[in-house]
Structure 1
Amino acid sequence: MAYAAWLSKETGEHYRLPTEAEWEYAARAGTTTPFWTGQCVKTDQANYDGNDDYAGCGAKTGVYRAQTLRVGSLPANPWGLHEVHGNVWEWVHDRYHNTYAGAPTDGTAWEGGSGSTRVSRGGSWFNGARNLRSAVRSGNAPEDRDDKTGFRLAGDTPATPDDRVGSRAAGDDSVKPPDQFSKELPDRSPGVSAADITEPTLLMPRFDFEPPMMALPGGQFQMGSPEDEPERSSDESPRHPVRLAPFAIGQTEATFAQYDAFCTATGRQPPDDNGWGRGQRPVINVSWEDAVAYAVWLSKETGAAYRLPTEAEWEYAARAGTTTPFWTGRCITTDQANYDGNYDYAVCGTNTGVYRQATVPVGSLPANPWGLHEVHGNVWEWVQDRYHDSYQGAPTDGRAWEAGGSSARVVRGGSWYGNSRGIRAAIRFDGDPELRSFNLGLRLARTLSP
C-alpha cells in the first residue's frame, strides 16, 4: 500500500492494489477452466512444485525450482499477463471472507466484515498445482512478510482508445476485454524511428498476428569467437568489429500462432508441430524460403518492413553487450536455455541431466539483458546471409553477406536437440534454403525508419 501511494505521488497516476475481482478477471483472461492454460498447467507454463499432480492431469512434471523466477520468464495469458499462476502469491486489496456470500458484484474491494486478514491470490513457487488455480484464495495478516508473497499493481488511468486494449462504443459504459481473435490491436509504437532508439525498447504489436519486437540502438561489437574460447569452430573466425544501425528484432522466436495466420491467409500448408502443440510454441519445420515468404506477407499486411535478421544483427542482439560464450557468462544451465543437458561444456556445469526433447513455448526462459528470450537453444533460427566458412571479407556494417559463399543459408542459436557447445552465441550452421526440420524456426527483424 505504501509503495502504491508513493508511486502515485511520483507519477501523478493513481496506482493501488487490485481488487480481488479485478485480479481474477485479469488472471482468467476470458477462460473458465482451473487455469488460463485449460484443465491443467505444466512447469513450463507456471512456477510451482511439480512433484504433485492435480486431478490426474499431468501437472506432476518433477520440476521444482524452489525459488522465484524473473518476471516475464513464463508465457503470458491471452491478455498479456505473466505469472498469474505461481511464482509468488499476490496481495489484493480485499479483506478475507470465507465465502463469497454478500460479495460486491461491481468489482469494488470487499472491505466489510470483522476480520483484519487480507486476500492474496495466484499461488507461489512453493505450492502444488492445486493452489495455482485461478479461483484459489488465501488470507494473511496485513503485516505478514515471507519469501512466497509479493504483489501486482493496478491503476486507475483514464481509459481512452489510445491507451486501452478494447473499445467503448458511444453510450456504452462497459469496458470490453481484448479479443484474442480480433485482428486490430492498438499501435503501441506509433511513428517509431531509428533516431528515437537510445536503449532497448519493446515495440508492441498492432495486430494479433504481429510479433512483439525489441528495437535496439546501433553500436559496435566484436563478431565471432575469440581464439581462446573453448570448443570453437574455424568458421567463427576471424573475429572482427561490426558497426550496426538501429533495428528491431523479435522479442521471441516466431510462434505457430503467428505463422499459422500467414498460412490461413495465403492458403499455405501449415507446418507440422511434431505433436508438441501449436499456439505459443516456436514454429518449426519451416524453410528459409518459407521464412522469407512469411516476412514479405507480414510486411504487406502491416505496412512495416519485416525481414530475416542479418547474421551480424542476430549475433549483436543475442550477445546483448556480452563477449562470453553465452549471454549468461562462461556457462549456461537448462533453467536458462532449452538444450540437451546430458553433456558438459568446458567443465563448467552445463550437464544438468535435464533434456526436454521438445521445444518450450516462447518466453518460457529468462530474457537476455536486451529483453530477448531463447536466443540460446529451443530452435535454430534462419538469418538472411549465405553461408561462408570463415568471416574473411565479411561486411563490417551489419549488412547481410549475399556475395560469394555457398547457396546454403546460415542458421544461428542452436536448439533443444543439441548440446550446450552448440548453443553458444558464436555458433554457426548452414542449411539448404528449402530445408525443413523439427529443430529449425525463425526470429524476425524489422527495419526502422530513419
Structure 2
Amino acid sequence: MRPKSVVASGLAGLGLLVLFQGYAFLPGRPGAAEEPPLVRIEAARVEYRSPGEFRSGGTPVNGPLVGIAAERPFEIMQRQVTRGEYQACVAAAACRPLAGPGEPELPLVGVSWLDAADYAAWLSRETGRSYRLPSDREWALAAGSRYRDDVYTEVSDPADPAKRWLASYEAMAADREPLESRPRPVGGFGRNEHGLLDLAGNVWEWTSTCFVRFRSDPETGAVSAHENCGVRIAQGRHRAYMTDFIRDPKAGACSVGVPPANLGLRLVREASGPLGRLRARLGA
C-alpha cells in the first residue's frame, strides 16, 4: 500500500499520529485489527415507529408512525461482522468464546448483546476509531426498503383486549415463512439501495436501543415512558425484543412475535472528538 499524501503529523494531546489519505497508523499498535468496509448514510428517509409497548388507558395500541430522516450522516458496516473477525477478539481475551465450531468467513451468529458490546469496544481499541452498535433508528434508515414496520394489526378494543391478541397472532401466522437457520456466505441475501449487504436475511442484528413501555392517559393526554435496558432491540426481517444476555433466540426471551433465526451484528463507526471530526472532513 503506497499512501498518496501525508495529511497530518502529530496532534497535540493525542500523541504522535500520522494520517494518510483513507488510512490511520497509530504507533505501538502492531497487528491492529483491519477496519471493515463501510457505507455512508446521508439522504435516507423511512416511515418509522418507535420500538416498545404502547398502551392508552390500559389498552394495547400501536405507536405513532412518522417519517424520519438522517439528522446527520453516519457510517455503518457494509456487511455483518464475520465469525473470523469475532474470533480475533476471543483470541485477544476480550470477547467470550462462541459455542461450537464454524466457518470463519460466514456471518457471525450466536452472540448476545453483551458480546456485541464487548466486540465493539475491542475493535475501537484495536483500530483507534470509535465503533458502536447502531440505534434502532439508525438501523431503520440504513435498511431503507428492507426496514419493516412491526405492527401486525390495527385492532384495539378496550372492551375485549383478546381481539387484538388474536388478530396479531393470525397475522403473524399468515406472514411466517420457512427460513433456513444456517448463515449464507456474505452477500447471500443481496444488497439494498444503499449498498448494504444481507439486511433482513436470516441474521438479526443487535442495536443499542432499549425496550420502552409507553403509557398514555386518553383523558389528559399525559404520556409516561419506562425504559428497560435489560431488553434490547434486534433488527432483521422484523423487530425483536431480546434479553441482553441471550445468544440463542430459539431459547426464549423474545417478548412478542416470531423469534429471530440468528443473532449477529454490524457496527457504526462514530466520528467523535477533534480527531473524529478531522477524519470525517477528510472522508477517512
TM-score (norm 2): 0.60
1:385 CA displacement: 0.7
What's the CA shift string for 1:385-426, capped at 9, x where partnerless? 10125699xxxxxxxxxx83223111110xxxxxxxxx1xxx
* Residue matched to 1:258: 85
2:22 pairs with one of 146, 171, 189: 189
Query: Contact 2:32–2:126 (CA<8 Å) still a contact in 1?
Result: no
Structure 1 unaligned runs (5+)?
A: 1-159, 164-185, 192-205, 226-233, 327-342, 393-402, 414-422
| Contact 2:34/2:127, CA 8 A, preserved across alignment | no
Flag the structure with more relative contact order, 1 or 2, with Cα contacts below 8 A and sequence separation at least 6.
Answer: 2
User: Superposition pairs for residues 6-155 of structure 1, below 5 Å?
Assistant: none
Q: How does 1:35-434 map onto structure 2 within 5 Å? A: 161-162=2-3, 189-190=22-23, 209-217=34-42, 219-224=44-49, 237-243=63-69, 244-266=71-93, 268-273=95-100, 277-319=102-144, 322=145, 325=148, 345=175, 355-389=179-213, 404-406=226-228, 407-413=230-236, 423=237, 427-434=238-245
The change in CA–CA distance for 1:308 and 1:268 in structure 2 (over 3 A counts) is: closer
> 1:327-363: CA deviations, max 9, x gaps?
xxxxxxxxxxxxxxxx864xxxx96xx7533111222
- Whichever residue aligns with residue 238 of structure 1, its letter is P
Deviation at residue 209 of structure 1 after TM alignment: 4.3
Q: CA deviation at 1:255?
A: 0.7
Would you say how many aligned residue pairs link Structure 1 and Structure 2? 199
Residues 10-41 of structure 1, C-alpha deviation per residue, up to 9 Å, x if partnerless?
A: xxxxxxxxxxxxxxxxxxxxxxxxxxxxxxxx
Work out the CA distance in 1 between the residues paired with 2:215 and 2:77: 25
Task: Report the 3-state secondary structure (helix = DSSP H, G, I; strand = E; otherwise coil) of the residue aligned with 1:259.
Answer: helix
* CA distance 1:412–1:323, change in 2 (3 Å): closer
Between the aligned residues of both structures, percent identity stands at 31
Where does residue 416 of structure 1 map in the other structure?
A: none
The change in CA–CA distance for 1:250 and 1:188 in structure 2 (over 3 A counts) is: farther
Q: 1:382 to 1:190 in 2, by over 3 A?
A: same
Q: Which has the higher helix share?
A: 2
Contact in 1 for aligned 2:40/2:74 (Cα 8 Å):
yes
SS in 1 for 2:226: coil
Q: If each structure's strand is expressed as a fraction of its own residues, which one has the higher value?
A: 2
Contact 2:94 2:122 (C-alpha < 8 Å) held by counterparts: no
CA distance in 2, matches of 1:378, 1:249: 19
Deviation at 1:258, TM superposition (A): 0.8
Q: What's the CA shift string for 1:172-194, capped at 9, x where partnerless?
A: xxxxxxxxxxxxxx977348xxx
Supply the RMSD in Å over aligned alpha carbons. Answer: 3.4
Larger Rg: 1
Q: What residue is the counterpart of 1:29 in the other structure? A: none
1:247 and 1:361 mapped to 2: Cα distance?
26
Shift of 1:241: 3.2
